Amino acid sequence: AQSVSQHNHHVILSEAASLELGCNYSYGGTVNLFWYVQYPGQHLQLLLKYFSGDPLVKGIKGFEAEFIKSKFSFNLRKPSVQWSDTAEYFCAVNNAGNMLTFGGGTRLMVKP
Partner 1 sequence: KAGVTQTPRYLIKTRGQQVTLSCSPISGHRSVSWYQQTPGQGLQFLFEYFSETQRNKGNFPGRFSGRQFSNSRSEMNVSTLELGDSALYLCASSLVVGLNTEAFFGQGTRLTVV
When the beta carbons of 73 and 95 are compared against partner 1, the nearer one is 95
Does residue 44 interact with partner 1 by CB under 8 A?
yes
Does residue 100 interact with partner 1 by CB under 8 A?
yes
Among 5, 8, 73, 101, binds partner 1 (CB under 8 A): 101
Does residue 11 interact with partner 1 by CB under 8 A?
no
Does residue 59 interact with partner 1 by CB under 8 A?
no
- Cα–Cα distances in Å, from 84 out to 35, 41, 95, 100, 108? 17, 14, 32, 26, 10
18 Cβ partners below 8 Å, 6+ apart? Answer: 77, 78, 79, 80, 81
Residues in the chain: 112
Taking residue 42's Cβ as centre, other Cβ atoms within 10 Å add up to 9
Among 5, 32, 73, 86, binds partner 1 (CB under 8 A): 32
With 0-12 / 13-18 / 19 or more C-beta atoms within 10 angstroms meaning exposed / middle / buried, residue 23 is buried
Among 10, 51, 68, 69, binds partner 1 (CB under 8 A): 51
Which residues contribute to the site for partner 1 (CB under 8 A)? 30, 32, 34, 36, 42-46, 49, 51-52, 90, 92, 94-105
